[in-house]
Amino acid sequence: MNRSSSPSKDRFLELGASMKLLVHLLKRYIYSGRLTLSLGCNGQRLTLATMPKSNTLPLPEKTLIGICQMTSTADKKANLATCTSLVESAAKKGAQMVYLPECSDYLCEAKSDTISQAESLDGDTVAHFMNLAKEHNVWLSVGGIHEKGSSADADRVYITHLIINSSGHVVSVYRKLHLFSVDIKGGVRLRESDVAIPGKDILLPVQTPVGKVGMAICYDLRFPEMSLILRSMGADVLTYPSAFTLTTGMAHWEVLLRARAIETQCYVVAAAQMGRHGKKRASYGHAMVREMIPVMEHRRTDLYGVLTANSSPDGDREVYMFGTHPINASHVFYRSTHSFAFVNRKPVVPGHVLVAPLRAAEKFRDLTSAEVCDMFSAAQTIERQLSNHHSATSATIAVQDGADAGQTVNHVHVHILPRKPGDFQHNDDIYEKLENHDKRENQEHRWRTDSDMAAEASVLRDLFACKAST
């Protein structure tokens, strides 16, 4: 690990009696050479770290990441300016991925202010981060923004973690599962559930230039089950963007990060808020990673089973991502733990649909064994129902993996086409049709309207008895 230099004493934030312990920790772990720590200077710091090549995890050698630390306030414009400065600095130094902390957009003391400043994912704040990633050609982990809730829950928000690729596209959206609640006598009182809506799903790790990143936020750190599930899904890196309170941070932050790293053998990246945000709130944080012991290989799953995550229908989701293409939830008719299926905008035959993993994996080899099993199980279930529904006598099931296989979207997927006698003059004609059916210059069939696609998906949802995100 590269390690940051220790700031001079006169630039430390005043932490009162806690300062002595903090300096002790700083010296101890920087001198050990095993950790990367950041201590805020005027509320802002960029730490660069290299992830060494691993014998057990498929990470590239000497991949540089940027871990950003800041002190957010209620001033959204100023906070975004700070984020911009940190990302620009990291990009200039060669970082391939930059991590920002929870509440990167703002941190207010009053609930009304928190609600009023929240935006939807198509708002200006997310657009700012998308442009920032594209402009500087870096991946971003935007560790926590306040996402506007649904109309049915307009007085609360989601705390949402985004991963944005270097092309400026949002590739994964995680909403905080565990909501913090603490009431320390004579100290801090904070109940996130008063202002935040809990998320519903543990997401599959995202393939990035620094490995497969498992997404979490702050208080999720206290739940080892979640980190073990992410590891079992193939995570190389666990990220916990945080705004830990000063009291709990001094007591638990270090040991919790180390515990999650040791038990999963994943790298841990924890971009954090630091310092005083206002009269009522102060944050604490630094980052660290684990060393290598093959603990995952030693787990006795024959005795206590394999941890898996159940995926809810996620009824308030509006968009699924198919590569960089958003798929309206009204076009999705089936969802399993790791996969989703949606109707085709230009079907080759009636009933032609697609099945894809929820995680945007470009190649078949990028899928975990759990994702492979789930995708083919879903394809089998869907083919059986569609063939019955369309009175088909056969079916073509084709996996598209790469451009030479006819793939036009960088997201491995399965085409399912119910077949009837005579639908093609020669059987192999179907592959030419598949290769060219979605080309815009192909005017043989016009693009279907959104309403036509939604109508078909609605029929299929009833067919599968599946409430898939409408």
Catalytically active residues, by annotation: 102, 176, 218, 413
CA dihedral 457, 458, 464, 470 (to 10 degrees): 90
Residue by residue, DSSP assigns 409-469 as: SSS-EEEEEEE-TTSSSSTTHHHHHHHHTT-TT--SSPPPPHHHHHHHHHHHHHHHT----
Q: Read off the amino acid at residue 299.
A: R
Let me know how many helices (H) and strands (E) the chain has, helices first.
12, 22
Output the six-digit token pair for 2. Answer: 């590269």
312 HSE (CA, 13 A, CB side):
10
DSSP-derived secondary structure for 251-298: IIIHHHHHHHHHHHT-EEE--BB-EE-SSS-EEE----------HHHH
Residue 19: which H helix or E strand, with range? Answer: helix 19-32
Strand 97-100 versus strand 63-70 pairing type = parallel
